[in-house]
Each structure stands twice: as structure tokens, then as C-alpha cells.
């Protein structure tokens, strides 16, 4: 095969690719940007016919809606001689702006420099990518929200919303750490509702549940935001008071809780009367960890019950 034949075959192959390509291909003078040739893909994408654009520029036709981006594209092409997948937007004859990726090179055609551009329409791909990104973000948000909910459920009593035993142990640890750093004290109360079981048995679990929620709220209303009220099971609660240094201050809070629990609860037309018994342990005198403080407060609570219910008892007074 002669050299001329090989060249002829190359030109024929080029023209087949040029006309058959689904992508937009254009050839324009590098010197002034006027179109020398465009393929059918260009016509389909832009809506312009070949005859409408030959001898004109993309700028004159308004194909580049973002002129600064076009200038950036041309400058980058002059610097490197070729570009691959340059992301931008192009406008069609109908005024629709589409997302595209442009690959371009500078070639010598008929003795003059020309810009050969291949444009791929990625509008649909970008739309799908955006939808996937939004879906992924939404899914991550849902997972994070559900994780937060599950964590809350694992650490809180379902009925009252108060911290449960698992979170209580953590709160006691935090309170002890706070007391150590600030050379302070803390009080831990174990509170058992008196006469709760007869109410629950006679009026039903739904009344019993409402009673527990109302009792929990009354206790919360009597302590500071920095203190903790927890439910550790059945009709038993724990209160942590931080930054308390005086025995009398703790006693005042305990009596307020007993007074609140002793007031009548009105539930579904029923006047319900209960009460409470409170055992109190003090840090660091009665214990230096959660287990020790809970054990001492629990023992003091049973001592309060034995004393006639409706009472509070400090563990330190039991010896």
C-alpha cells in the first residue's frame, strides 16, 4: 500500500468517525474562532444546521452562556495544547442550557491551526448524580437520626423519658469526676414510691403508667437542670444532686420531693394518693463510685420504709 493510499484511508476513516459520532464535534479556526465544519452530532445538540454556523463563531451564536468560563477554556487550551473533559455549560438554539464536558485539541488543517472540539452532553448523567447525592445525603441523615433515636432508647426509660440505669451509671461517673475536680460533694437519692402497687393493681396499668409519668415530672420540677432524675425500674427512681456541700440542703430537697409525692394525683377522674421513701448516700463519705453510692442509698431507703414510709434516711445515720 502506498503512502498516499494510507493517507486516503486515514481521511476516510476520520470522516466516518466525524459523521457517525453521537457527540458534538466542531472544527474552528484558532485565529478567529469561526466554524470550518461541524458534524451531525453538533446539529442534534445545538439545533443549528451546518449551513447556519459555518463562518460564524460560537460567541456570536451565543452558545457559551458563561463567557468567563469560555475565556478560561481557551486560555487553558492555548497553554496545554489539549483539554480532556472540561466541565461547562452550552446553550442550544432553543435557549436550553445543557451540562457538557468538552475535550479539545489544536491541530494543523490545510496549513492553518484549528481547534477540534468534542462535546459530550452529560446533563442526564449530572441529574442522576445529583439525585444520587441527594438520596445518599437523605439516607445518611435518616441513618444518623435513627442511630440517635436508638441510642436515646438504649439510655432512656421508654415510659417517662428519664435516663435509665445504663445512663444513670454514666451520670454518676460524671458527677463524681465533677466533684473531684471542684473539691465538691454530691448526694445520691434512691426513691421508692409508696402504695404504688395497690393503685396499679386496682385501677389498671394505664393509670399506673400515668402515675409514674406524673411522679417523675414532679421530681424533675424540684431539681436543677444540672441534676439528674432517673428511673431504674418499676416504681424506683434515683436523683443525683451535684455541688451540694451541706447536709441540710440535701434534707430540704428530700423533704420537698416527699411533699410533692404526697400530694393527690388526679388521673382519669381518680384521686390517687401515694407517697415515697428516700434513701440518701453522700460522696465521698458513703462511697467513691456508682456501685457503692447506689448500694448505700438503697439500704438507707429500706431503712426509711421501716421507719414508717413517707420518710427519708441518710446512710451515714444508720450506723
- The answer to whether residues 89 and 83 touch, using CB atoms and an 8 Å cutoff, is no
Reduced to 3 states (helix: H, G, I; strand: E, B; else coil), residue 254 is helix
For the chain, report the end-to-end CA distance as a whole number of angstroms.
115
CA 50 to chain centre: 52
By C-alpha distance, which of 167, 177, 288 is closest to 229?
167
Could you count the other beta carbons within 10 Å of the beta carbon of residue 83?
18
161 DSSP 8-state letter? -
Locus of grid cell 478560561: 72
DSSP label at 264? P
Give residue 180's Cα distance to chain centre: 34
Q: Extract the C-alpha cell encoding 216.
A: 417523675
Burial 40-56 (b: 16+ CB within 10 A, else e): bbbbebbebeeeebeee
Catalogue the active-site residues.
235
Amino acid at each position: 500500500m502506498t503512502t498516499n493510499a494510507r493517507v486516503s484511508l486515514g481521511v476516510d476513516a476520520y470522516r466516518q468517525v466525524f459523521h457517525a459520532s453521537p457527540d458534538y464535534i466542531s472544527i474552528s479556526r484558532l485565529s478567529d474562532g469561526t466554524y470550518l465544519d461541524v458534524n451531525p452530532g453538533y446539529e442534534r445538540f445545538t439545533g443549528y444546521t451546518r449551513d447556519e454556523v459555518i463562518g460564524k463563531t460560537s460567541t456570536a451564536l451565543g452558545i457559551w452562556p458563561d463567557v468567563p468560563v469560555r475565556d478560561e477554556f481557551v486560555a487553558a487550551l492555548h497553554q496545554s495544547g489539549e483539554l480532556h473533559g472540561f466541565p461547562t455549560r452550552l446553550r442550544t438554539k432553543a435557549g436550553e442550557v445543557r451540562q457538557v464536558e468538552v475535550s479539545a485539541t489544536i491541530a494543523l488543517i490545510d496549513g492553518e491551526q484549528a481547534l477540534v472540539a468534542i462535546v459530550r452532553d452529560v446533563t442526564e448523567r449530572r441529574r442522576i448524580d445529583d439525585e444520587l447525592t441527594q438520596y445518599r445525603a437523605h439516607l445518611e441523615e435518616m441513618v444518623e437520626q435513627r442511630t440517635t433515636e436508638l441510642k436515646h432508647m438504649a439510655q432512656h426509660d421508654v415510659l417517662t423519658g428519664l435516663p435509665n440505669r445504663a445512663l444513670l451509671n454514666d451520670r454518676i461517673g460524671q458527677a463524681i469526676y465533677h466533684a473531684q475536680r471542684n473539691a465538691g460533694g454530691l448526694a445520691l437519692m434512691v426513691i421508692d414510691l409508696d402504695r404504688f402497687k395497690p393503685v396499679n393493681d386496682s385501677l389498671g396499668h394505664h393509670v399506673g403508667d400515668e402515675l409514674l409519668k406524673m411522679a417523675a415530672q414532679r421530681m424533675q420540677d424540684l431539681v436543677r437542670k444540672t441534676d439528674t432524675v432517673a428511673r431504674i425500674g418499676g416504681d424506683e427512681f434515683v436523683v443525683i444532686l451535684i455541688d451540694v456541700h451541706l447536709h441540710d440542703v440535701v434534707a430540704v430537697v428530700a423533704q420537698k420531693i416527699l411533699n410533692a409525692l404526697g400530694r393527690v394525683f388526679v388521673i382519669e377522674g381518680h384521686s390517687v394518693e401515694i407517697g415515697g421513701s428516700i434513701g440518701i448516700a453522700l460522696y465521698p463519705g458513703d462511697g467513691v463510685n456508682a456501685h457503692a453510692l447506689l448500694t448505700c442509698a438503697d439500704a438507707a431507703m429500706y431503712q426509711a420504709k421501716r421507719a414508717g414510709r413517707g420518710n427519708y434516711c441518710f446512710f451515714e445515720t444508720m450506723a
